[in-house]
Amino acid sequence: MSDKAIQAFCDRKFGMFIHWGLYALPGGRHNGEIMNSIGEWFQSYFRMPNREYAKFAAQFNPVNFNADEWIRKAADAGMKYIVFTAKHHDGFSMYDTKVSDYNIVKMTPFGRDPLRELAAACEKYKIKLGIYYSHYLDWHEEDGGDPGREAGLNCNFMSWGNDWDFPDRSGKDFSRYFYGKVIPQVTELLTNYGEVCELWCDCPMDIRPEFSSALRDLVKKLQPDCMINARIGNGCNDFQGLGDNQLLHSKSPLPIESPGTLNNTWGFKYDDHDWKSTEQIIEQLVSLTEKNANYLLNVGPTALGEFPPETDRILRGIAEWIQGKEDAIYASQPTPFPQELDFAYCTRSGNRLNFFLRKTPPELILDGIRGRVVRADVEFRQEGERLFLKLPDLSGQTLPLVRLEFEGKPDVRQELMPQNGTLLLSPAAAEIMEGKEERKTAGIEIDEAAIVHEVTNHAKLDRDGTLCDWNNVSDKIEWEVFFPEKGDYALSAVTQTRWKNQPWDGDRSLVLHWNGQRAGVKELLPEENDPSPYFTRKLSPLGVLHIPEGGRGKLILESPEIRSENAGKINLNSIRINRI
Ligand code: GLC
């Protein structure tokens, strides 16, 4: 992949995911039953035979579809690319294809090719076109991918493959589907619609490496600069991806993208009214931007071709907010700070630091700032490496932007230290010291004969920068920290579930040591709920750390008792240290 294409990918920052297909027509409802999962999985949820599902095509007539309007809304909200579902798992092609008659032009009264119209609008608004293509799952095809029941069920109750029309997997020939449909369709998509910035594959499941690499070879032959996402499978990707609605908790070293929903579905659903707020979406955008990640935000248009009114409202809110702040987002560099700041998100543009303020006290004090500030949006003063910012009344604004212009490239000390009295210690900045192999976890009396689970997982870093799987009581998590001065600090742990609606079962204790001082013991029982948009996040106070004099030292986190086998499924986001 060329550096130019990677740079262009990183510079875009914000895109619109568009999930649009026949599933928008039922919108999650069937025979009086309301679907309790993501809308584009309608067919699998209701195990609807292809014969019956295909009838939706005869009714699909999105007379209000207007590609220009969709793309204008994306452009107004500051989005620089779109990713459109050319073919989702239902196998129905939402573009003009010669490979399969099961497509929007042939089978619907609408008869138009939305992808062609979207591509033209993208050209007009200088938005890049990306294409989603379900390369493994295809419920319409007998030979479409199916990992079988051994792979479990999606969201616990939906078959991955179409085992209602095609229950017998023994005769399947995936390569017949792959070379008969996927390769020729991706060829069409990368030949007939101009430049494609991303090919977005999904659900690779157990796809064999030769298929992922054949698809990669084709993409690189047709459009070498088209970036491929990680869900192509088998490491054939150009950029990394987070899980659905997953955010980052520390800077990503590699280009990465986070796909997110506005409510709890990708495809339109009549009954999902659980919309995130405009402020939450803006915060997610900025939080991802400072961590080197792109945000691919989904819309699920209706079967008439319209965005739901709530979607329009949120997009308008983003459009208003982003005006005048574009320079601090697009083509910006990630935060130069080695940790997330609790009072701001930070990006860099050339010699400028851009602070998007999460808190707006009258004064902010930053340490370890080495360069000289020559200009700022607010009053400032520098004393050695300490920088004082005096803030006007910015309350009530969503992430107001304060820019600081430095004499040269801003130079921030690469050391973990409190900023404005608070330090968020991310596991990504720690050294994970694996303890010796433990056969049992302390605190659980296990009858030797009946050891059902041997809990021996070492803590590891999840792709979102959190700590996961931690079930070994002798592991130590170590941070080297600098405290510029003595003082008392309140300690707490920020933890979260790994997926939505996951039950909270984090039963363990945590202990922190500072240069030999035992700082806190606490059950990891949630005391305070952080209203997070998707995952459950909790803050658990851990005690007080007394720093007798300024200086450098090791902060060590241990978990001497892990009482629940599920504790490892609760991820540690950070240790929060607050000056009292
Ligand atoms: C999941 C869903 C799929 C959706 C995708 C978006 O993989 O299965 O339906 O398109 O997420 O990221």
Q: Across residues 47-72, what is the average pLDDT?
A: 98
pLDDT number for residue 456: 65
Instruction: Name the pLDDT band for 524 (thresholds 50, 70, 90).
Output: low
pLDDT number for residue 545: 87
The rounded Å distance from CA 71 to ligand 1 centre is 22
Average pLDDT of the chain is 92
pLDDT number for residue 560: 86
Calculate the CA 298 to chain-centre distance. 12
pLDDT number for residue 427: 96
pLDDT number for residue 530: 52
pLDDT number for residue 529: 54
Out of 106-115, 505-514, 549-558, the most confident range is 106-115
Q: Nearest C-alpha to atom 11 of ligand 1 is from which residue?
A: 244
* Secondary element (H or E) of residue 107: helix 104-107
pLDDT number for residue 326: 96
Calculate the CA 314 to chain-centre distance. 19
pLDDT number for residue 312: 98
Q: 258: closest CA among 279, 283, 289, 235?
A: 289
Tens of pLDDT, residue by residue over 361-370, are 999 999 999 9
Query: What are the backbone dihedrals phi and psi of residue 363, each rounded to the nearest 5 degrees, phi first?
Result: -140, 145
Tens of pLDDT, residue by residue over 375-398, are 999 999 999 999 999 999 998 999
Least confident of 115-124, 480-489, 502-511: 502-511
For domain 422-579, the CATH superfamily is: Galactose-binding domain-like (2.60.120.260)
Least confident of 81-85, 118-122, 326-330, 498-502: 498-502
The rounded Å distance from CA 202 to ligand 1 centre is 7
The class level of CATH for 3-274+281-324 reads alpha beta
The rounded Å distance from CA 7 to ligand 1 centre is 26
pLDDT number for residue 506: 74
Most informative mutation of 203, 205, 295 for ligand 1 (most atoms within 8 A of CB): 203
d(CA 115, CA 105): 11
Out of 263-272, 434-443, 451-460, the most confident range is 263-272
The 3 state secondary structure assigned to 478-497 is EEEEEECCCEEEEEEEEEEE
Q: Across residues 139-150, what is the average pLDDT?
A: 96
Going from the C-alpha of 444 to that of each of 46, 454, 474, 545, 563, the distances in angstroms are 42, 11, 15, 29, 6
For the chain, the straight-line distance linking the first and the last C-alpha, in angstroms and rounded, comes to 49
Tens of pLDDT, residue by residue over 274-322, are 999 999 999 999 999 999 999 999 999 999 999 999 999 999 999 999 9
Q: Nearest C-alpha to atom 10 of ligand 1 is from which residue?
A: 266
Q: Across residues 101-114, what is the average pLDDT?
A: 98
Alpha helices in 235-380 (DSSP H): 278-290, 309-322
Q: Nearest C-alpha to atom 12 of ligand 1 is from which residue?
A: 244
Q: What number of CA atoms fall less than 13 Å from residue 469's CA on the CB side?
A: 11
Task: Identify whether the C-beta of residue 563 lies closer than 8 Å to the C-beta of residue 499.
Answer: no
Q: Across residues 123-148, what is the average pLDDT?
A: 98
The rounded Å distance from CA 296 to ligand 1 centre is 12
Which residues have CB under 6 Å of ligand 1? 38, 40-41, 202-203, 244, 259, 266
Query: What are the backbone dihedrals phi and psi of residue 548, each rounded to the nearest 5 degrees, phi first?
Result: -70, -30
Most informative mutation of 89, 138, 231, 266 for ligand 1 (most atoms within 8 A of CB): 266
pLDDT number for residue 3: 93
Instruction: Name the pLDDT band for 445 (thresholds 50, 70, 90).
Output: very low
Q: Where are the domains of the chain?
A: 3-274+281-324, 344-406, 422-579
Percent of the chain surpassing pLDDT 90 = 79
Q: Which two tokens stand for residue 205?
A: 């499941």
Tens of pLDDT, residue by residue over 414-434, are 999 999 999 999 999 999 999
pLDDT number for residue 563: 80
